[in-house]
């Protein structure tokens, strides 16, 4: 026997005996659910949502259409119900001693008990529930939903009240929104008072109340002054919502009094409550932020577009009357969205800092934000949160203030009183990294702020200038004016770190700086009488190295600055740069007394000019200096050649092919192969021949040993015949063995090689002639059938030509015409191109 049943979708739930079963009305499939208990019979109650409420003794269990248990809770009645009627949002049960009304929403709280004994039946109608007794009928009329909402709210049943708000008629949508907002706010206050801050913020968010209302709960936060009208103030404009608005205002006033009373709590409790509340507030503000920032951005965009349109209209009317227009369009627009965004970001930053979420605050400032600068600046300074303060300055383009703060923090980090974490956090590298993105936008600010790190971390600072392409001339001129002591450091590091080098102006600037310092040092030592030519300082070493390794400086100006009686090594290097090799070598030999440096100089010039035969006489110049010291010294002292007016490529008349007859008493044996090496004196060194010299005996002491050593070491780079003509008459042949032996050996080897090459070339020539003779012996037979390959006529007795393949025969006339046609076609193709 079926004791209870109800439809649930395509299925029917049956209560048979003490069991529940689900039968499919389409297929007839039967599924057992569970038993109905030991006492009460089965009770199947359909719910408005399509689910079922099945009775099991005094418990009502929720199942879906297929009989599966739901996890939304269960209704526990005070006794076993005989029947249950659903009246949203309540379940009304008929019990033996009374009628019990409970909520359908978890936790299914008891709403009301109506004392009616021996109720035989409960019947649901449209407007009420009828309770039939043995001799009477009672009507259970529902209290109006608005009154229920008020009662539930007053008793703290906020979830039930919100559920009832959804049952309000659609035509009361404004009233419904106001009631829901009021309930959410009251519920939020209730949760906030009980320490459920996250849930409280969720309720405030659902109430759509202005954020200033929520922020009023946190008096420790400093907010900017705005003209924002809160949502509860706007409600005053609607008469039917005036009561709800007044309730909200009363709630705010009462809560503010509770905040003052909460000050009596212990500091530890307040601190814990404040931290948890601020964490919840930060989450709430971050959730609200996206929409508010979008509205503020749209507002700014509208203002920009409106201003651009207004400006274009003014420009498009140049010929209209220029009388002043008293009705100018208003350019100021409402900034409610931006003010709201300012309040939100300002309070969010403070909440993040107070809850020790500095990383979140930095991320906030890195993006688009509307933080109030003054308030947050004071707030961060009070709490010494300098990393966030730096990001605040950066986001507001206050780079100068940020860099001043960084310099101060780096200086403080050097103090022994500061902890190690502070030292690691603030170091000169931070200043460099801050300056990096500013190099392109504001190079002058970068220069002004880089002096501190340039003194303490010059290599990284120079690397910053180079990597970010800060104009080198600008950097140099700024340092020259404001930090001359750092100018040479900058140029040195730039010269060493730049792969492409630096421009000639900066090279010249660096050399001038070195030279000025060296000259000052030289004057001091000279006045003291302690000057020595071979005394070196680090700066002089740098000057010499720069002169040798670079060539972008102005040698003429540098030579004019050098003293005549000192700094001969620098002068020799400069002479070498302008190809005044004879002067340079004279300084190395006679002033510096460093023959080894002179030989090294010759090697360098020879290697650099290996492809230029005119440079091959550099060793001969050194021989002249060794063997004709008086002449070279006299030429140097008289300064016959003005340095500024000389050019390396100019040559004066040379008499290299003339040799004075009186110089040699005997004929010098011509060394085979020596004449193959041509000699031409340098145009900038001397205009006179190597043989056009005075007699050796008329001059001062010669350096024969050095000359012989040079000949023995560099015999392969010196013209042997010219060198022998330059040697004194009394030079012993034994002293020339180390020079002549390898020279003659090399000459003989070259002669043998040339003979072999000559014979090979002669043999190849014979082979070519033999091949030519063979090809000229070819025989061509012409008979009466021989045809011209071009006109296809018989050749007969006409003149003919044969192509190199030995088979193609043509008339000579045809061949000539074909050549002319090819020539014409070739000319036409050239014209077309």
Average pLDDT score over residue span 9-33:
84
Rounded to 5°, the CA angle 682-683-687 comes to 95
Look at 224-228, 568-572, 666-670, 748-752 and tell me which has the smallest mean pLDDT.
666-670
Please give the average per-residue pLDDT across 332-354, as a whole number: 84
The bridge status of strand 121-124 relative to strand 19-24 is: unpaired
pLDDT grade for 272, boundaries at 50, 70 and 90: low
Q: Which residues contact 366 (CB under 8 A, 6 or more apart)?
A: 391, 395
Give the pLDDT band (50/70/90) at residue 209.
confident
Q: What gap in Å lies between CA 555 and CA 579, rounded to an integer?
A: 11
Residue 407, token pair as written in the block = 């310099």
- Give the integer Cα–Cα distance in Å for 409 and 428: 10
Give the pLDDT confidence score for residue 353 in this predicted structure. Answer: 92
What is the model's pLDDT at position 633?
A: 59
Average pLDDT over the chain, rounded to whole?
77
With a cut of 50, say whether residue 657 has pLDDT above it. no
Residue in the block written with tokens 């936008």: 441
Average pLDDT over residues 562-568: 86
Tens-place pLDDT, residues 748-800: 888 999 999 999 999 999 999 999 888 777 788 888 889 999 999 998 888 99
pLDDT in tens, 318-338: 544 444 443 333 434 447 888
Provide the token pair at 726.
């330059």
Give the residues across from 131 on adjacent strands: 122, 138
> Domain boundaries in the chain?
2-141, 147-209, 740-777, 778-832
**Which residues make Cβ contacts (< 8 Å) with residue 342, sequence separation at least 6?**
224, 226, 370, 371, 372
Confidence of residue 348 (pLDDT cuts 50, 70, 90): very high
Q: Which of 349-358, 393-402, 554-563, 601-610 has the lowest mean pLDDT?
A: 601-610
Q: In the block, which residue shows the tokens 């090689």?
A: 753
Give one DSSP letter per residue of 563-627, joined into a string: -TTS-HHHHHHHHHHTT-HHHHHHIIIIIS--HHHHHHHHHHHHHHTTT-GGGGGHHHHHHHHHH
Confidence bin at 310 (pLDDT 50/70/90): low
Write the DSSP assignment of 147-194 as a string of letters: HHHHHHHHTT-HHHHHHHHTTS-GGGHHHHHHHHHHHHHHHHHHHHHT
Helices 428-435, 458-467: crossing angle, 10 deg rounding: 10
At residue 829 the predicted structure's pLDDT band, cuts being 50, 70 and 90, is low
Q: Does the pTM of the predicted model rise above 0.85? A: no
CA distance 343 to 222: 9
**22 φ/ψ angles, rounded to the nearest 5 degrees:** -115, 125
Mapped onto helix, strand or coil, the DSSP state of residue 397 is coil
When pLDDT is averaged across residues 146-170 and rounded to a whole number, the result is: 79
The backbone torsions φ and ψ at residue 322, rounded to the nearest 5 degrees and listed phi first, read: -95, 20
What is the C-alpha separation between 570 and 564, in angstroms, rounded?
Answer: 11
- Does residue 747 sit in helix, strand or coil? helix
What CA–CA distance (Å, rounded) separates 462 from 490? 7
* pLDDT, tens only, 84-141: 888 878 889 888 888 888 887 777 777 788 888 888 888 888 778 888 888 889 888 8
- Among 53-67, 401-415, 425-439, 711-725, the minimum mean pLDDT is found in 711-725
Residues 821 and 552: their CA atoms lie apart, in Å, by 61
CATH placement of domain 2-141 = 2.130.10.10
How crowded is residue 549: how many other Cβ atoms within 10 Å of its Cβ? Answer: 9
Give the number of other CB atoms < 10 A from CB of residue 373.
14
pLDDT band at 247 (very low <50, low <70, confident <90, very high): low
Look at strands 110-114 and 121-124 and give their pairing: unpaired
Q: Which of 306-315, 578-587, 755-764, 803-812 has the lowest mean pLDDT?
A: 306-315
In this structure, are residues 510 and 492 in contact, taking their beta carbons and an 8 Å threshold? Answer: yes
User: Highest mean pLDDT range out of 18-32, 388-402, 440-454, 700-714?
Assistant: 388-402
């Amino acid at each position: 026997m079926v004791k209870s049943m109800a439809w649930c979708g395509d299925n029917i739930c049956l209560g048979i005996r003490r069991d529940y079963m689900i039968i499919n009305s389409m297929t007839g499939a039967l599924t057992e659910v569970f038993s109905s208990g030991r006492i009460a019979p089965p009770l199947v109650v359909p719910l408005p949502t399509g689910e079922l409420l099945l009775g099991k003794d005094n418990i009502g269990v929720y199942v879906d259409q297929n009989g599966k248990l739901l996890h939304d809770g269960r209704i526990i009645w005070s006794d076993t119900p005989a029947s249950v009627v659903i009246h949203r949002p309540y379940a009304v049960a008929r019990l033996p001693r009374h009628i019990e009304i409970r909520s359908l929403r978890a936790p299914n709280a008891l709403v009301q008990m109506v004392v009616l004994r021996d109720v035989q039946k409960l019947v649901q109608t449209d407007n009420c529930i009828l309770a039939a007794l043995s001799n009477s009928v009672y009507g259970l009329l529902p209290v109006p939903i608005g009154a229920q909402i008020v009662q539930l709210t007053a008793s703290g049943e906020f979830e039930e009240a919100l559920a009832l708000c959804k049952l309000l008629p659609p035509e009361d949508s404004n009233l419904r929104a106001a009631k829901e907002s009021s309930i959410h706010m009251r519920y939020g206050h209730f949760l906030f008072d009980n320490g459920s801050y996250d849930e409280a913020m969720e309720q405030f968010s659902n109430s759509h109340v202005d954020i200033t209302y929520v922020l009023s709960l946190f008096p420790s936060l400093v907010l900017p002054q705005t003209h924002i009208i809160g949502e509860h103030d706007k409600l005053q404009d609607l008469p039917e919502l005036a009561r709800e608005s007044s309730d909200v205002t009363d709630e705010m006033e009462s809560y503010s009094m509770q905040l003052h009373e909460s000050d009596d709590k212990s500091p530890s409790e307040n601190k814990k409550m404040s931290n948890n509340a601020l964490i919840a507030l930060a989450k709430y503000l971050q959730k609200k932020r996206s929409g508010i920032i979008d509205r503020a951005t749209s507002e700014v965009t509208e203002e920009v577009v409106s201003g651009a349109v207004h400006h274009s209209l003014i420009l498009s009317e140049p010929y209209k009357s220029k009388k002043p227009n008293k009705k100018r369009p208003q350019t100021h627009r409402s900034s409610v969205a931006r003010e709201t965004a300012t309040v939100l970001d300002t309070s969010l930053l403070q909440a993040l800092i107070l809850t020790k979420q500095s990383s979140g605050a930095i991320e906030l400032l890195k993006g688009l934000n509307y933080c109030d600068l003054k308030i947050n600046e004071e707030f961060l300074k009070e709490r010494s949160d300098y990393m966030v303060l730096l990001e605040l300055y950066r986001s507001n383009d206050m780079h100068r203030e940020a860099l001043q703060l960084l310099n101060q923090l780096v200086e403080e980090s050097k103090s022994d009183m500061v902890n190690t974490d502070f030292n690691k956090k603030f170091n000169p590298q931070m200043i460099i990294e801050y300056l990096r993105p500013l190099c392109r936008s504001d190079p002058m600010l970068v220069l002004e702020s880089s002096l501190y790190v340039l003194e303490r971390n010059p290599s990284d600072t120079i690397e910053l200038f180079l990597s970010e392409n800060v104009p080198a001339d600008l950097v140099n001129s700024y340092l020259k004016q404001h930090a001359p002591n750092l100018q040479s450091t900058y140029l040195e590091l730039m010269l060493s770190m730049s792969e492409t080098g630096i421009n000639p102006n900066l090279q010249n600037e660096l050399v001038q700086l070195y030279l000025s310092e060296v000259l000052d040092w030289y004057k001091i030592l000279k006045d003291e009488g302690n000057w020595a030519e071979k005394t070196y300082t680090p700066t002089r070493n740098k000057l010499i190295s720069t002169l040798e390794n670079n060539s972008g400086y102005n040698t003429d100006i540098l030579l004019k600055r050098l003293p005549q009686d000192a700094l001969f090594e620098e002068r020799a290097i400069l002479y070498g740069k302008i190809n005044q090799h004879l002067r340079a070598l004279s300084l190395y030999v006679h002033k510096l007394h460093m023959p080894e440096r002179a030989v090294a100089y010759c090697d360098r010039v020879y290697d650099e000019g290996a492809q230029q035969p005119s440079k091959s006489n550099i060793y001969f110049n050194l021989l002249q200096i060794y063997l004709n010291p008086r002449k070279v010294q006299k030429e140097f002292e008289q300064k016959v050649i003005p340095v500024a007016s000389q050019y390396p490529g100019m040559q004066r008349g040379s008499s290299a092919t003339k040799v004075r007859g009186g110089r040699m008493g005997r004929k010098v044996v011509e060394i085979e192969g020596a004449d193959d090496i041509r000699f031409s004196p340098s145009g900038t060194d001397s205009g006179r021949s190597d043989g056009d010299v005075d007699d050796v005996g008329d001059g001062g002491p010669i350096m024969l040993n050095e000359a012989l050593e040079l000949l023995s070491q560099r015999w392969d780079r010196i013209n042997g015949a010219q060198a022998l003509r330059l040697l004194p008459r009394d030079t012993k042949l034994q002293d020339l063995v180390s020079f002549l032996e390898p020279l003659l050996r090399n000459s003989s080897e070259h002669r043998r090689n040339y003979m072999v090459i000559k014979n090979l070339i002669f043999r190849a020539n014979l082979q070519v002639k033999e091949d030519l003779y063979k090809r000229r012996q070819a025989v061509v037979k012409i008979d009466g059938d021989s045809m011209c390959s071009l006109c296809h006529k018989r050749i007969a007795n006409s003149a003919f030509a044969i192509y190199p393949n030995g088979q193609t025969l043509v008339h000579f006339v045809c061949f000539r015409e074909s050549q002319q046609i090819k020539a014409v076609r070739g000319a036409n193709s050239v014209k077309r191109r």
